[in-house]
Chains A and B, each alone.
Chain A
């Protein structure tokens, strides 16, 4: 998929663990892992909003488009 999830980079910049973020935004660690690994088919605006709010970032910091 040409949409890349850069969640790991943002998490390390903020010294946060996946588990902590999952708790903050109210999704399971398993679902966050699916999102981080790029296996997710779609992301809800509500989830994106929660991530941006928790990490104090923009959607573009998390998602990027790469030409295949």
Chain B
């Protein structure tokens, strides 16, 4: 199977990531709606919210910090999968060295290297008031992912230049 271009692996990944980001957006909207309209139960200081159509439920401490954390992580996830779907959308084009992929890779780098770590520390200290430094693997993964996308951005930038020069060779 082809990796790039129309009807390729990139097309499949585009639809997968687009679906995930859409589902996460619907999930976030449902959670916010459920919190606003009191569609959950509280037991021993913990909330329990049934997720429609899945038969499962989510629960957590019924505190604004927990709810804010869930919302922020979901927003981050939506943005991450949305950008990934945009990258694969650009990769399913006939010419893969295009401006769209460079722009989306740049945004992915910013999301992983800037917004991700800021969100991590924001959730860890001011929101959740944690005293010890835990779950560092999430931060490491974000930075590794961000570094890869940073290098990929420059690879695609150079590719775009070569492609443009090749297109303008008569």
Contact B169 A39 (CB under 8 A): no
Whether A10 sits at the interface, judged by CB under 8 Å, is no
For the residues of B in contact with A, the DSSP-based class is mixed
Q: B168 → chain A, closest Cβ, in Å?
A: 4
How many Å lie between the Cα of A46 and that of B168 in the bound state?
15
Whether A24 sits at the interface, judged by CB under 8 Å, is no
Whether B44 sits at the interface, judged by CB under 8 Å, is no
How many Å lie between the Cα of A40 and that of B169 in the bound state?
6
Whether A35 sits at the interface, judged by CB under 8 Å, is yes
User: Hey, which chain B residues are within 8 Å of A42, CB to CB?
Assistant: 165, 168-170
How many Å lie between the Cα of A53 and that of B164 in the bound state?
28
Whether A16 sits at the interface, judged by CB under 8 Å, is no
Whether A58 sits at the interface, judged by CB under 8 Å, is no
User: Hey, which chain B residues are within 8 Å of A47, CB to CB?
Assistant: 170
User: Which single member of A27, A32, A41, A44 contacts B165 (CB below 8 Å)?
Assistant: A41
Q: Which residues of A contact B (CB under 8 A)?
A: 27, 31-32, 34-35, 39-44, 47
Q: Which residues of B contact A (CB under 8 A)?
A: 164-165, 168-170
